């Protein structure tokens, strides 16, 4: 089963939960304040192989297709 990350809209607490894929977006109670006003967050995947980070993207932010990015304001060589 995958681990999903959630945030509470009431208290801002971020927590994760091991849930089946079919229950990923189902309501879940906040582990801190017990509010039902939670939402699933976008998770970032990280892997490591032989001590080096393994990613599926280049050194550019998510919106970049060229060497200069208007959405994040950075410049990539």
Question: What residue segments make up the domains of the chain, in order of their start?
Answer: 3-49
What is the rounded distance in angstroms from the CA atom of residue 3 to the CA atom of residue 46?
13
The whole-model pTM stands at 0.57
Q: CB under 8 Å to 31, separation ≥6 — which residues?
A: 13, 15
Average pLDDT for 4-14: 97
List, edge to edge, every strand of the sheet that includes 3-8.
14-18, 3-8, 38-40
Q: Per DSSP, what are the bridge partners of residue 47?
A: 54
Per-residue pLDDT reduced to its tens digit, 17-76? 999 999 999 999 999 999 999 999 987 776 777 777 666 544 445 545 444 455 454 444
Nearest to 41 by CA among 73, 63, 9: 9
Report the top-level CATH class of 3-49: mainly beta
Compute how many other C-beta atoms are within 10 angstroms of the C-beta atom of residue 5: 13
CA–CA separation, 11 vs 45, rounded Å? 25
């Amino acid at each position: 089963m995958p681990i999903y990350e959630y945030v509470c809209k009431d208290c801002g607490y971020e927590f994760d939960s091991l849930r089946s894929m079919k229950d990923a977006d189902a309501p879940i109670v906040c582990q801190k304040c017990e509010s039902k006003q939670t939402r699933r967050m976008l998770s970032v995947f990280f892997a490591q192989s032989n001590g080096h980070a393994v990613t599926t993207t280049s050194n550019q932010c998510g919106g970049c297709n060229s060497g200069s990015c208007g959405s994040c304001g950075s410049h990539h060589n």
